[in-house]
Amino acid sequence: MFYTDGKLQYPVRVEKPDPLFARALQQAIGGIEGEIRVAMQYFFQACGARGNPKFRDLLMNTATEELGHIEMLATAVALNLEGAPLSEKEAVAADPVGSMVLGGINMKNLLSAGLSAMPVDSDGVPFDMSHIYASGNIAADMTANVAAESTGRVLAVRLYNMTNDPGMKDMLSFLIARDTMHQNQWLAALEELGGPQGVFPIPNSFPQEKEKQEFSYAFLGFQSDGTNPIAGRWSEGQSVDGKGKFTATPMQPLGQKPVLGQAKPGSGAQTEQM
Amino acid sequence: MFYTDGKLQYPVRVEKPDPLFARALQQAIGGIEGEIRVAMQYFFQACGARGNPKFRDLLMNTATEELGHIEMLATAVALNLEGAPLSEKEAVAADPVGSMVLGGINMKNLLSAGLSAMPVDSDGVPFDMSHIYASGNIAADMTANVAAESTGRVLAVRLYNMTNDPGMKDMLSFLIARDTMHQNQWLAALEELGGPQGVFPIPNSFPQEKEKQEFSYAFLGFQSDGTNPIAGRWSEGQSVDGKGKFTATPMQPLGQKPVLGQAKPGSGAQTEQM
Amino acid sequence: MFYTDGKLQYPVRVEKPDPLFARALQQAIGGIEGEIRVAMQYFFQACGARGNPKFRDLLMNTATEELGHIEMLATAVALNLEGAPLSEKEAVAADPVGSMVLGGINMKNLLSAGLSAMPVDSDGVPFDMSHIYASGNIAADMTANVAAESTGRVLAVRLYNMTNDPGMKDMLSFLIARDTMHQNQWLAALEELGGPQGVFPIPNSFPQEKEKQEFSYAFLGFQSDGTNPIAGRWSEGQSVDGKGKFTATPMQPLGQKPVLGQAKPGSGAQTEQM
Amino acid sequence: MFYTDGKLQYPVRVEKPDPLFARALQQAIGGIEGEIRVAMQYFFQACGARGNPKFRDLLMNTATEELGHIEMLATAVALNLEGAPLSEKEAVAADPVGSMVLGGINMKNLLSAGLSAMPVDSDGVPFDMSHIYASGNIAADMTANVAAESTGRVLAVRLYNMTNDPGMKDMLSFLIARDTMHQNQWLAALEELGGPQGVFPIPNSFPQEKEKQEFSYAFLGFQSDGTNPIAGRWSEGQSVDGKGKFTATPMQPLGQKPVLGQAKPGSGAQTEQM
Amino acid sequence: MFYTDGKLQYPVRVEKPDPLFARALQQAIGGIEGEIRVAMQYFFQACGARGNPKFRDLLMNTATEELGHIEMLATAVALNLEGAPLSEKEAVAADPVGSMVLGGINMKNLLSAGLSAMPVDSDGVPFDMSHIYASGNIAADMTANVAAESTGRVLAVRLYNMTNDPGMKDMLSFLIARDTMHQNQWLAALEELGGPQGVFPIPNSFPQEKEKQEFSYAFLGFQSDGTNPIAGRWSEGQSVDGKGKFTATPMQPLGQKPVLGQAKPGSGAQTEQM
Amino acid sequence: MFYTDGKLQYPVRVEKPDPLFARALQQAIGGIEGEIRVAMQYFFQACGARGNPKFRDLLMNTATEELGHIEMLATAVALNLEGAPLSEKEAVAADPVGSMVLGGINMKNLLSAGLSAMPVDSDGVPFDMSHIYASGNIAADMTANVAAESTGRVLAVRLYNMTNDPGMKDMLSFLIARDTMHQNQWLAALEELGGPQGVFPIPNSFPQEKEKQEFSYAFLGFQSDGTNPIAGRWSEGQSVDGKGKFTATPMQPLGQKPVLGQAKPGSGAQTEQM
């Protein structure tokens, strides 16, 4: 169960409203790197976390924080849209290259939302909840979370670099710091789950003797000239999970051309296929 | 540029066609954990890889492998659909609980594809290319790839456990082994990029003194009773990126209730909002 | 069955083509507040209307009108795109800030449709038919229709305020009038179905003694300080459906922390979860 | 900002796990009538509420409640999936018509989520955030909320009628009661905003003399034989908004056949179109 | 503008309701081969048809027919759902393998629509209007229409073969006949536009001397062993558009490995990429 | 199985980077007319091709070519984004109407991809794999391919006309030539399958005596005044498939108004519907 006090986790201040930056901020709300994604991802991971309950608590606690981040960003979008023009006439009056602003914003922020935030990305595409990765495997979930916070912080940095507004820079410096923590937090959870050698390969519950082991640590080449691709840490030495040694080899097809049967009569194919 | 020989990377053999398992295999083609996802993700990451060209080569090489995995799985789906009933009459004739089979498959595999594979998941939802995470930050991309291969191997293991068909188990034991390698491969790439302390926080190009540093390694609590959530590796000790020390503290709102201006005249709001 | 005469329900005239306004008009075609939505929503509601056939007739009649509105708006989009530039060179020639226009339009209107209308919204996102609310409950459908016409008229007003073109203003003044009627029409249908006290709570066929009645008219508070949120008509007095009295109280959790079982062996979880 | 105590708002108890009912419950999580929808809808409406701040508080308070409903339902799904078969062999062993169960569930609940809840509907389609109606017009928002709670309660009633499990019936009797309240609550908010005559037509800020008023209260007929469709409350008498009188008349086209110009040279059309 | 008489174009009769067949029929409503698709495709093509107005008329006339086909199929779905069980208890009572039926239907037809039709496909995926191909090139549109009617008739044939119900077979024999006509109709339109040699390559308005003509009629091979793929009508002889001669040759890459610049400072990449 | 050499099929050169043109090029990657679509469409058609294996080879060979086209275009997008501004300050510095550029691009190319290509269209909408038409009927597939290459070439021509960059014009002249070939190639495959009279109506395996033949070659009119729509090749003479004679006649409804039963008790409808 959840509670609110209606206040913002961190102050949101806009000195000079900038409708184009409002559009960019939408990515941090409804983009795949955005706050809806992490809030809902941690929420659903928490709800499906089996085993040690500490992970459920950890996940739901941070899901709760992320809900507050959506609220902050939605406020920032609305404040940046203050004073956005409602018509080309108004736009041109405000600015010699005025209708540019009208053309540059997500029009739905104006037409659908009346100059408020929406759960869409910076091109107006609505967030799709298929991006909530919650696998039922706690370690896979943690890797997904490290990835989410990595792209999240990359986005926040790009937004920070895009604006000159001191209020926005301040808000983003807070969100960037939180992304630093959250990257570290999920990495710490992976350590608690056993570190690279305890955790990988995910899932660690599958007996590796059942996999076709000659391919488990082989860096396979698919170069048309039959050579291996570029060498690196991945092509020799101990594997990162500690359970094998990297090798490298060009791949040859082991199977043949697939042969499907004729089409079934009545299956809607052409006569020639039957 | 790409080439093909029309052969399968690894043999695909189905001893007893099973239309319900065909449905499950669709998840490995068009699910978010599936092969279209990794093939296209590595492809686009390669195309946008700036800096050391070895990462472009590494990514495109493995993208090329994954294309062959889609081909293998599409063959497996078609072979499992061989002999699937085209009508309830046929279904009931084949099996005392026959129409079950017709009800249990993705109907589009029959109605849209004539008993062949489709780029959809196990519930018939088409794959959506927003799941291609290619951030322009090579380290963020690698974390996304570790995550993709982790959920991918979890899926492959679930499929392995679901079937009794020796041919399918053999094919999946190969794909599981490849997922083992690919998890290790992307982890190795992260090592080559500097390991946890060189790589994190991602992006490592943002000067951390610009972030609001008192929150960079703080585990914040959002418990309604003002306590911290459960302690763990994430609440004390050195941070995983080696750049801070974890602390823990309950969060208090630092901002106030947001106050938006009145609605603009002409903005389509109610009169009472203006 | 349907018929057409190929004529427009109301004249569509554009005095000065405006590609940016064409983009805005797309929202009224393929936005969630747009005409495809209402046309198809009334259509499917009609097809599923059980009980008194007058509602089927009412719905299909108005669905038929809305089809004509799509036609009007598609014409308006094409006319506003007349003369839109096909290249930046052409754009710059036409206008000192010319490529702005090219950047401001939905590019698909040019690239996919050759300067014609599309079933997409003002940011180029295609309409998704999940927005067709047709519940099988005639009263729920009517509330959905009131809502659809409310956001529809808000949108039409925003478009009216955005343009200076007399032809466009005339067309929109007609569409706004129709939205006025349609709001009233669905409200009238709700009256015919019994008015607030006969209709609500929807569905009225569920025996209210089966609901957990101490919560049926209670305004519950989720404020972190344990107080109630702001009072209003909703916190005291007779309920609008006439079947209860509003009360207000802070909520306490009645359940415990959820406890799921361990992960099943073979379920693809980590060993630690089993 | 938000807080949690990790407890459920109301107890969630499943006496006999039923994987097929788990599938049905997914509709109440990720369906368009579900809890993610209302939680996020009220959340975004709150964030964009301009004018009297009491509506922001009202909306965010109830958004907070709905977050707890997602949590309850996600728990209910996971509990109903306890003991679901992981393979056909297991399914057949458990039940003479066993693989039916495997065919009947959303396969992603097994394959993607490891027998946990997901933000998808009962057919496995992910929730799409375009369903968050937050218009910037407070009255339009309230009508959308009445509609959402109406379809929400219809769904909850259908779920109640579908199950025999006492725990599930108890949980649903609570959720149905809350839907009763929420329908009334938003209707009460509409009363506070002025009731039908103060609120409609939405937006009430548009001067009605600017609309083409001869069509504002006219029930137009689109019957192919030129008659009016069925009469009703909507075809005569005072309009519900109190600002006009209903009339009824068959519609004649007022416009002509649309004539677009020739295709522009270089626009990618056929030569014959230029 | 459109009109209706509320009657069905062709009788829709169901002798024995079959909920599973209702699910299959949904594909013909909301599938990519379905009637919403063709109705809306012809509608938007008509609205954007430039040049000879006869094509606009032709397209809008047939769009109008297809609207009536949606109506027929929506009726067929509802009639097949008559008597579908609302609960497992009811399902089991009706049928020894009863809950199969409940598991086999699109659950949304029950839960969202109350046993009525929806604009979704046979797996419950909503129709997405991006499938409306309306290119602004009349010949490209006609090829898209031939393709749509081809997959449409394939689907109708599969449905015909799936059912034993005489009423449904009769309805489908009518729809199949209409698809026969519509395939021929759009082929006839292509003839009227000049036939293969006048129409192709589409668009015929682009001067072919501007294309890299040595590749315009070359069948290029991408076989890894450097051979050409299988020969056929496409590898020698006159091209179908009559403007060239087919040749065949293996492809060699003409470009080099792409080299992107370093990542820009401040672009959110890793330091190592700059 | 697939191979790569990392080189481009044809040189990709950009003389003057143009971020707005990068946006337009995205349509050729992730638009419905783009290269992902054809690559994946031919791929899945190949995997499901039953009957003569030459079609599988033909399809997979060309799928392999198209993969290389995605690679070319992704390179072109990245090169056009070189030097795109990362902030409004930078934008304004570069150009008197600078922020126009920032407003005109797909923001996700900057914010999500760091100035690289994405699998999205020119308005930032991700490609959706439901556009992969692979029907299991080889002739229907070929018509879909002709349609895909027709809209594809229309798009390429529009892009060619939009740019002045010699490198981009050169690349597009190559892609246009390939589209010419691919249109001809699939038309040639239709000839090999029997030409219009052997192939149509698709599927040719359905006995035409089972269709309601009086409607198989009838051009039906849906004009509200009871006349036929405009005459043409489609209204008289031999049908294109050679199996009938075109006739023309206005349509009369053959069915009645649909009558559904009352709503079932317990189905969540209003009491009035039962």
Residue type (1 letter), B44: F
A32 vs F contacts (CB less than 8 Å): 112
**Can you give the pLDDT at residue C95?**
60
Numbers of helices and strands, H then E, in chain C: 9, 4
d(Cα B125, Cα F112) in Å, to the nearest integer? 24
pLDDT in tens, B7-51: 999 999 999 999 999 999 999 999 999 999 999 999 999 999 999
- CA distances from residue F272 to C51, C197, E24 in whole angstroms, order as listed: 7, 14, 30
* CB within 8 Å: A140 and B151: yes
Shared-domain flag, residues E42 and E153: yes
B21 vs D contacts (CB less than 8 Å): 88
Contacts of F221 (CB under 8 A, 6+ apart): E61, F227, F228, F229, F248, F249, F250, F251
Indicate the length of chain F as a whole number.
Answer: 274
A127 vs D contacts (CB less than 8 Å): 128-129
Distance from CA of A19 to the nearest CA of E (A): 21
Searching chain D, which residue's CA lies closest to the CA of residue F224?
A: D224
The angle formed by the CA atoms of residues C1, C7 and C11, to the nearest 5 degrees, is 135
Distance from CA of A224 to the nearest CA of C (A): 36
F88 vs A contacts (CB less than 8 Å): 18, 20-21, 162-164
Distance from CA of E209 to the nearest CA of D (A): 15
Share of chain C above pLDDT 90, in %: 88
Over residues B82-89, mean pLDDT: 79
Q: Tell me whether strands F237-238 and F245-250 are parallel, antiparallel or unpaired.
A: antiparallel
Exposure class string for E151-165: b at 16+ Cβ within 10 A, else e? bbbbbbbbbbbbbeb
Question: How would residue D97 be classed by pLDDT, with cut points 50, 70 and 90?
Answer: low
Over residues A143-167, mean pLDDT: 97
* CB within 8 Å: E116 and C127: no
Lowest mean pLDDT among A228-242, B94-108, E226-240, F74-88: B94-108
d(Cα F239, Cα D109) in Å, to the nearest integer? 51
The angle formed by the CA atoms of residues A209, A211 and A215, to the nearest 5 degrees, is 115
Short-list A193, A50, A46, CA closest to B222: A46
Shared-domain flag, residues D84 and D134: yes
Q: By three-state DSSP, how is residue E220 classified? A: strand
d(Cα C217, Cα C208) in Å, to the nearest integer? 12
Searching chain E, which residue's CA lies closest to the CA of residue D25?
A: E111
Distance from CA of A259 to the nearest CA of C (A): 32
Q: By three-state DSSP, how is residue D250 classified? A: strand
Over residues D122-132, mean pLDDT: 97
User: Computed from CA positions of residues C89, C90, C96, C97, in that sequence, does the dihedral angle turn out positive or negative?
Assistant: negative
State yes or no: ipTM above 0.85: yes
**Can you give the pLDDT at residue E92?**
65
Contact (Cβ atoms closer than 8 angstroms) between residue E256 and residue B36: no
Residue C113: which H helix or E strand, with range?
none
**Can you give the pLDDT at residue D124?**
96
Task: Output the DSSP codes for F63-116.
Answer: HHHHHHHHHHHHHHHHHHHTT--SSHHHHHHH-TTTHHHHHHS-HHHHHTTSSS
**Can you give the pLDDT at residue C205?**
97
Domain stops at, among E163, E197, E231? E197
Shared-domain flag, residues B152 and B215: no
d(Cα D177, Cα D64) in Å, to the nearest integer? 17
Is position D271 within any domain? no
* CB within 8 Å: D130 and A126: yes
Distance from CA of A265 to the nearest CA of C (A): 34
The tokens for E23 are 């699910």
Residue C9 has pLDDT above 60, yes or no: yes
Is position D136 within any domain? yes
A152 vs F contacts (CB less than 8 Å): none
Distance from CA of C228 to the nearest CA of F (A): 33
**Residue located via tokens 């009559």:** E242
Contacts of B191 (CB under 8 A, 6+ apart): A233, A240
Question: How would residue F97 be classed by pLDDT, with cut points 50, 70 and 90?
Answer: low
Short-list B57, B143, C174, C254, CA closest to E270: B143
Shared-domain flag, residues E128 and E64: yes
Q: By three-state DSSP, how is residue C3 classified? A: strand
What are all long-range contacts of B230-234, with beta carbons under 8 Å and residues at least 24 apart? B230/A53, B230/A54, B230/A57, B230/A58, B232/A54, B232/A58, B232/A188, B232/A189, B232/A192, B233/A188, B233/A189, B233/A191, B233/A192, B234/A58, B234/A184, B234/A185, B234/A188, B234/A189, B234/A192
Residue type (1 letter), A185: Q
Is position C256 within any domain? no
Shared-domain flag, residues F174 and F223: no
* CB within 8 Å: E184 and F11: no
D125 vs B contacts (CB less than 8 Å): 123, 125
**Can you give the pLDDT at residue C3?**
98
Question: How would residue B97 be classed by pLDDT, with cut points 50, 70 and 90?
Answer: low
Shared-domain flag, residues A161 and A240: no
Short-list A166, E268, A109, B145, CA closest to F111: E268
**Can you give the pLDDT at residue E90?**
78
d(Cα A30, Cα C240) in Å, to the nearest integer? 36
Question: How would residue A245 be classed by pLDDT, with cut points 50, 70 and 90?
Answer: very high
**Can you give the pLDDT at residue B144?**
98
**Can you give the pLDDT at residue B92?**
65
Residue D85 has pLDDT above 90, yes or no: no
Short-list E80, E204, E185, CA closest to E140: E204
Residue type (1 letter), A239: S
Residue D119 maps to which CATH number?
A: 1.20.1260.10
* CB within 8 Å: D126 and A130: yes
Shared-domain flag, residues D166 and D88: yes
Is position A14 within any domain? no
Exposure class string for E74-105: b at 16+ Cβ within 10 A, else e? bbbbbbbbeebbbbbebbbeeeebbbbbbbbb
* CB within 8 Å: B8 and F30: no
Radius of gyration of chain C (CA): 25
pLDDT in tens, C72-103: 999 999 999 987 888 877 776 666 555 556 67
Shared-domain flag, residues E165 and E261: no
User: Computed from CA positions of residues D121, D123, D128, D133, in that sequence, does the dihedral angle turn out positive or negative?
Assistant: negative
**Preceding amide of E11 cis, omega within 30:** no
**Can you give the pLDDT at residue F83?**
75
D158 vs F contacts (CB less than 8 Å): 267-268
pLDDT in tens, F186-243: 999 999 999 999 999 999 999 999 999 999 999 999 999 999 999 999 999 999 999 9
Residue A102 has pLDDT above 80, yes or no: no
User: Computed from CA positions of residues D109, D107, F134, E178, in that sequence, does the dihedral angle turn out positive or negative?
Assistant: negative
| Phi and psi angles of residue E115, each rounded to the nearest 5 degrees, phi first | 70, 35
**Can you give the pLDDT at residue C115?**
94
* CB within 8 Å: E253 and F9: yes
Distance from CA of D51 to the nearest CA of E (A): 35
Question: How would residue F261 be classed by pLDDT, with cut points 50, 70 and 90?
Answer: confident
Contacts of E75 (CB under 8 A, 6+ apart): C47, E8, E12, E117, F258, F260
Share of chain E above pLDDT 90, in %: 89
Searching chain D, which residue's CA lies closest to the CA of residue A76?
A: D47
Over residues F99-112, mean pLDDT: 81
Shared-domain flag, residues A60 and A184: yes
Residue B204 has pLDDT above 70, yes or no: yes
Residue F66 has pLDDT above 90, yes or no: yes
Give me the helix-helix angle, D19-30 and D35-47, nearest 10°: 20
Partner-chain residue, chosen from F4, F87, F138, that has the shortest CB–CB distance to A270: F138
Share of chain C above pLDDT 70, in %: 96
Chain-centre distance for alpha carbon C88: 36
Q: How far apart are the first and last CA of chain F?
A: 60
* CB within 8 Å: E136 and C120: no
* CB within 8 Å: F133 and E151: yes
Contact (Cβ atoms closer than 8 angstroms) between residue A140 and residue B149: no
Using left for φ > 0, alpha for ψ between -120 and 50, and beta otherwise, residue C155 falls in alpha
**Residue located via tokens 């995995």:** B69
C26 vs E contacts (CB less than 8 Å): none
Searching chain D, which residue's CA lies closest to the CA of residue C125?
A: D130
Over residues C44-50, mean pLDDT: 97
Is position E187 within any domain? yes
Lowest mean pLDDT among B95-104, B222-231, F105-114: B95-104
Q: Best residue in F33, F157, F227 to probe D by mutation, most D CBs within 10 Å? A: F157
Short-list F170, E268, F6, D151, CA closest to A222: F6
Q: What integer best gives the mean pLDDT of chain A?
A: 94
Q: What integer best gives the mean pLDDT of chain D?
A: 94
Radius of gyration of chain A (CA): 25
Comparison of pLDDT for C96 and B260, the residue scoring more: B260
* CB within 8 Å: A161 and E224: no
Q: Best residue in D42, D52, D122, D154 to probe C by mutation, most C CBs within 10 Å? A: D154
* CB within 8 Å: E253 and B1: yes
**Can you give the pLDDT at residue A261?**
86
Q: How far apart are the first and last CA of chain B?
A: 60
F115 vs E contacts (CB less than 8 Å): 264, 267
Searching chain C, which residue's CA lies closest to the CA of residue A127?
A: C125
Q: Tell me whether strands B245-250 and B218-221 are parallel, antiparallel or unpaired.
A: parallel
Exposure class string for F209-243: b at 16+ Cβ within 10 A, else e? eebbeebbbbbbbbbbeeebbbebbbbeeebbbeb
Partner-chain residue, chosen from C157, C266, C268, that has the shortest CB–CB distance to B268: C157
Residue A235 has pLDDT above 60, yes or no: yes
**Can you give the pLDDT at residue E94?**
64
d(Cα C223, Cα A252) in Å, to the nearest integer? 64
Shared-domain flag, residues F75 and F101: yes
* CB within 8 Å: D1 and A68: yes
Contact (Cβ atoms closer than 8 angstroms) between residue B221 and residue A61: yes
pLDDT in tens, D238-256: 999 999 999 999 999 999 9
Contact (Cβ atoms closer than 8 angstroms) between residue F9 and residue F72: yes
**Can you give the pLDDT at residue A165?**
96
Number of structural domains chain C divides into: 2
Question: How would residue D171 be classed by pLDDT, with cut points 50, 70 and 90?
Answer: very high
Domain boundaries, position E34: 19-197
A88 vs C contacts (CB less than 8 Å): 18, 20-21, 162-164
**Can you give the pLDDT at residue B84?**
82
Question: How would residue B139 be classed by pLDDT, with cut points 50, 70 and 90?
Answer: very high
pLDDT in tens, D55-78: 999 999 999 999 999 999 999 999
Chain-centre distance for alpha carbon B2: 24
**Can you give the pLDDT at residue F79?**
96
Partners of chain E (3+ Cβ pairs below 8 A)? A, B, C, D, F
Is position F265 within any domain? no
Domain stops at, among E138, E173, E197? E197
Q: Best residue in E109, E116, E211 to probe F by mutation, most F CBs within 10 Å? A: E211
pLDDT in tens, B110-137: 999 999 999 999 999 999 999 999 999 9
A240 vs B contacts (CB less than 8 Å): 184, 187-188, 191
Partners of chain B (3+ Cβ pairs below 8 A)? A, C, D, E, F
* CB within 8 Å: B102 and E272: no
Residue E251 maps to which CATH number?
A: 3.30.1530
- CA distances from residue A34 to A30, A38, B203, F1, F107 in whole angstroms, order as listed: 6, 7, 16, 37, 14
Over residues C12-18, mean pLDDT: 94
Shared-domain flag, residues B36 and B139: yes
* CB within 8 Å: F216 and E181: yes
Indicate the length of chain C as a whole number.
Answer: 274
Is position D34 within any domain? yes
* CB within 8 Å: F128 and B132: no
Comparison of pLDDT for D143 and D20, the residue scoring more: D143
Over residues F22-39, mean pLDDT: 98
Question: How would residue D95 be classed by pLDDT, with cut points 50, 70 and 90?
Answer: low
A70 vs D contacts (CB less than 8 Å): 43
Beta bridge partners of F93: none
* CB within 8 Å: B232 and A208: no
Distance from CA of B165 to the nearest CA of F (A): 21
E60 vs C contacts (CB less than 8 Å): 4, 6
Spans of chain E, pLDDT less than 50: none
Is position A230 within any domain? yes
Shared-domain flag, residues B104 and B186: yes
Short-list F163, F186, F183, CA closest to F45: F186
pLDDT in tens, B12-23: 999 999 999 999
Contacts of A108 (CB under 8 A, 6+ apart): A118, A120, A124, C27, C31, C121, C122, C123
